[in-house]
Amino acid sequence: MLTAPGAATPPQPPGAGGETVRFRVDEATGRRRAAEVLRQVYQALVEKGYHPTSQLVGYLLSGDPTYITSHHNARSLIRTVERDELLEEIIEHYIHCPGTRH
């Protein structure tokens, strides 16, 4: 795209120049909320007889809420937290959980 001399260049999307983009959520509030939602959704999936890990992976990868049961309003609940926040909580928990191998 050519621009006239002296014209402002259009803004570039984050990472367009090859730099690493920092991603942050409100650490305390976001992580507590994501953790609680994961616990409640996990329990609802167990109660309905689903394999909760598989169902959560399906939802996290696809964004399709039908992987989550509507039992105890779990499907609506999980949609109140962004998938990236859920993933962040899962990764943080895994990294800091005693007994995991790194």
Residue 42 forms part of a structural domain:
yes
Q: Quick one: pLDDT at residue 7? A: 64
* Mean pLDDT by groups of 10 residues along the chain of 102 residues: 61 74 64 93 98 98 97 97 95 84 60
Structural domain includes residue 22: no
Cα dihedral sign, 27-69-77-60 = positive
Q: 95, 86, 87, 94: which is closest to 37 by C-alpha?
A: 86
Kindly state whether residue 3 falls inside one of the protein's structural domains.
no
Taking the mean position of all CA atoms in its chain, how far away is CA 19?
A: 22
Distance in angstroms (rounded) separating the CA atoms of residues 92 and 96? 6
Query: Structural domain tally of the chain?
Result: 1
Question: pLDDT at position 32, please?
Answer: 85
The parent domain of residue 68 ranges over 27-96
Task: Judge whether 9 lies within some domain.
Answer: no
Q: What is the pTM of this model?
A: 0.69
Compute the distance between CA of residue 44 and CA of residue 39 in angstroms, rounded to an integer.
9
Question: Token pair of 43, please?
Answer: 């329990």
Question: What's the pLDDT score for residue 49?
Answer: 98
Residue 38 in any domain: the answer is: yes
Residue 15 lies in a domain: no
Q: Identify whether 5 is part of a domain.
A: no
Separation between Cα atoms, residue 55 and residue 64, nearest integer Å: 10
Determine the pLDDT at residue 16: 74
